Structure 1
Amino acid sequence: MDRTLAVSMSLCASFSIAHILDFWDRIDKIKELEMEEYYE
């Protein structure tokens, strides 16, 4: 396996993982806001 290919793949993987975590964090915040509005 080519070294540069391995590096670019690991960078891509870490970027996508961070992107997914940020996405889930945003969904949790939206759910919390919806819950607060629901209970008021």
Structure 2
Amino acid sequence: MVVLLFLREIQLYHEIRGILVVGRFRIFSDQERKLDLTHA
């Protein structure tokens, strides 16, 4: 039982981390687009 809870915690951690990475990547790409617009 403890092992199952531990695995679930790891799964949640990876899901949250993936969401944060994707969100950060989207913000970064949006900033790049704004920079491209200002340079053009």
Gaps of 5+ in 2: none
State the partner residue of 1:19: 19
State the partner residue of 1:9: 9
State the partner residue of 1:35: 35
Amino acid at match of 1:14: H
TM-score normalized by structure 2?
0.86
TM-score normalized by structure 1?
0.86
Moved over 3 A (4+): none
* Identity rate, percent: 12
Gaps of 5+ in 1: none
Q: Structure 1, residues 1-40: CA drift from partner, whole Å, max 9, x if none?
A: 8111101000000111111111111011100000011112
